[in-house]
Structure 1
Amino acid sequence: MSKRRPEHGLPPALFYNEKEAQKYASNSRLAQVQSEIAERALELLSLPKDEPCFILDIGCGSGLSGEVLSENGHHWVGIDISKAMLDVAAEKEVEGGLLLGDVGCGLPFRPGSFQGAISVSVLQWLCNAEEKSQDAMKRLRRFFASLYACLSRGSTAALQFYPENAQQVEVITRQAMKAGFSGGVVVDYPESTRAKKIYLVLFTGGFRQLPNALTAESRVQTECSVNERMRTSGRKIKRKPSKKSREWILKKKEQARRRGKTVTRDSKYTGRKRRERF
């Protein structure tokens, strides 16, 4: 018997409750998978190198994909239907803006606001109407029409999703094309049941060739080339600063300053562990 899909149970606003949100905050494996998908979605945008862009994160959740955008030097705004997930993102003090909203009702942004958009595991939720008054096709149409409008001309959207079947892929793609997009589906690791990931890659402003999908061979070649570059250059992988370390505290203080908050000045004692008093 096949495992029941989340979207066939509760609506997303109820499914992603406080318990589910904490799972995203504490489960390292879940965070790793989410970050890897976001990295790939960002790669599929083919943004200019070393140029910060303004990106829309659709279904931003607890901010895992937004952190990937920040680490790559981009600015972003995230929208999500789950307040519990957004609360986790706010607690983590992510660098992007956060907005509570149902993307099936349309994206509430000005025309041409973003230079790209990414999404992780959202589209399949739009194919289900939680109420009798809702129409899944209308929700898809509103979503894609508003997405097309808020993207700047010549930009790309990379939307990863978990379709229920081939028919659902066709329905989603057709609605995107009706909204004015060109593009199509990119399937990474199609030969693997576990690693297989599906992305809807959409272009505004004319037809472009779809990016190449990743395969098992390309994955090995990529890992080899990365290891070789590290070996020859002697550089180590850049890792996030550990929580409460001096580097972590300085980064958080700098984020607060950029937001206009009053922050105590840095000193040689910043981040030092205080002596215990008896």
Structure 2
Amino acid sequence: MVKGERPEFTNPPEIFYNDSEARKYTTSSRMENIQEALTQRALELLALPDDDQVKMLLDVGCGSGLSGQALSEKGHVWMGFDISAAMLNVALEREAEGDLCLHDIGQGLPLRAGKFDGAISISAIQWLCNADTKAADPRKRMRAFFESLYGCLARGARAVLQFYPQNSEQAHMLTSAAMRAGFSGGLVVDFPHSTRAKKYFLVLMVGSAAPLPTPEGLDGEEPVDDGQVNIINRKQQKRRKTNHAIVMDSSRHPEAKGKSWIFKKKDQMRKKGYTTVPPDTRYTGRKRKSHF
């Protein structure tokens, strides 16, 4: 895959997420942190009642079980669907606690009515917008998915589906398909002012409607880059790297080499919501010895 290219533009998911890609995805500590953060936010938006009862949840596009792991840690029972056999094999190797099912969600979910207390999905439903074969009709696939999802959820339950739309038309198409299936609710966009890291959550409700949750980041703060790569011209990337090196070496910014500058920058990043900032230690800002 060309760096910066969306996975949906390369191959169908069952081909793109082969054994090599599945293992690379799962062993990346960065991706694991991203998945955990997105799952925790999805659970928050799911607004499950705090009654100490174990909930039966559905994980749509469960992959290798990273999101399911967060569900298990919360004490929930879950079932996961994914179209990639390689991803599910990795989930089995990791001893995922949920029941796993190899299935194309665009064909609908073969589940009994009203059996689930909620559903989540992390970075999966944008694949429904693709026509990977001549016979594939994205609108029909969306209808099959959302109608079956609506049917398997208990009355009063919610589904929280995080996704990466290619554009506003895709977001509208998915939202409209969900509403036509009977859901109420809508889009919650965290960090809406960020051009780099908006988070789209389709919050769907079965039965009586409720006000949508308040998005995060309305004050303009930006979180850590969540791994969804923006396509940037290579010349622009090179120019940015060059300019950054010039600034760091410039005599106009002598403070850039000091401990106080590093602590200040790390503190700013934490306040902006960055979750991968290294902790402060006695080695922070210490000049490394040359090995050459």
Same fold (TM > 0.5): yes
CA deviation profile, 1:50-90 (whole Å, cap 9, x unmatched): 33210000000000000000111111000000000000100
In the alignment, which residue of structure 2 is the partner of 1:28?
29
| Residue in structure 1 matched with residue 171 of structure 2 by the alignment | 169
Q: Structure 1 residue 189: deviation in Å? A: 1.1
Where does residue 15 of structure 1 map in the other structure? 16
| Cα shift at 1:2 | 9.8
- Structure 1 gaps of 5+ residues are 225-278
Looking at structure 2, the residues matched to 203 and 118 of structure 1 have their Cα atoms a distance apart, in angstroms, of 12
The structural deviation recorded for 1:206 is 2.0
One-letter code aligned to 1:38: T
Q: Secondary structure at the match of 1:116?
A: strand
**What is the TM-score normalised by the length of structure 2?**
0.73
The Cα of 1:193 is off from its aligned counterpart by 3.1
Paired residue type of 2:72? S
Q: 1 CA distance for matches of 2:92 and 2:16?
A: 19
Tell whether 2:75 aligns with 1:73.
yes
State which of 92, 95, 98 in structure 2 corresponds to 1:93.
Answer: 95
Q: Which amino acid aligns with 2:81?
A: I
Residue 211 of structure 2: aligned partner: 209
What are the superposed Cα offsets for residues 207-233 of structure 1, whole Å, 9 maximum, x if unpaired?
A: 11101111165989xx89xxxxxxxxx
What's the C-alpha RMSD, in Å, of the aligned pairs?
1.9
**Separation in structure 2 between the aligned mates of residue 215 and residue 58 of structure 1, nearest angstrom:** 26
* Structure 2 counterparts to residues 231-246 of structure 1, below 5 A: none
Q: How far apart, CA to CA, are the structure 2 residues paired with 1:78 and 1:2? A: 29
| Paired residues of 2:61 and 2:122 also in contact (CA < 8 A) | yes
Deviations 1:23-50 (A, max 9, x none): 1221000110011101110111100123
Flag the structure with larger Rg: 2
1:29 is paired with a residue whose SS is helix
Match status 1:145 vs 2:186: no
2:93 aligned partner, one-letter code: E
The one-letter amino acid paired with 1:181 is: F
Match of 1:182 among 157, 181, 184: 184
What residue is the counterpart of 1:4 in the other structure? 5
Partner of 1:60, secondary structure, is: coil
Counterpart of 1:268 in structure 2 is: none
Distance 1:206 1:35, change over 3 A: same
CA deviation map 1:128-152 (0-9, x unaligned): 1111011110000000000000000
- CA–CA distance in structure 2, aligned partners of residues 157 and 113 of structure 1: 13
Task: Letter of the 2:38 partner, please give it.
Answer: I
Percent identity of equivalent pairs: 55
What does residue 248 of structure 1 align with?
none
- Separation in 2, partners of 1:51, 1:191: 37
- Partner deviation per Cα, 1:156-206 (whole Å, 9 max, x = no partner): 000000001111111111110000000000011112233321000000002
Residue 105 of structure 1 is matched in structure 2 by: 107
Amino acid of the structure 2 residue aligned with 1:19: S
In structure 2, how many angstroms separate the alpha carbons of the residues matched to 1:181 and 1:48? 19
Q: Given residue 64 of structure 2, which amino acid in structure 1 is its aligned partner?
A: S
Q: Take 1:168 and 1:195, find their aligned partners in 2: how far apart are those partners?
A: 17
User: Separation in 2 of the partners of 1:51 and 1:41?
Assistant: 19
Provide the rounded CA distance (Å) in 2 between the counterparts of 1:29 and 1:78: 22
Q: How many residues align?
A: 222
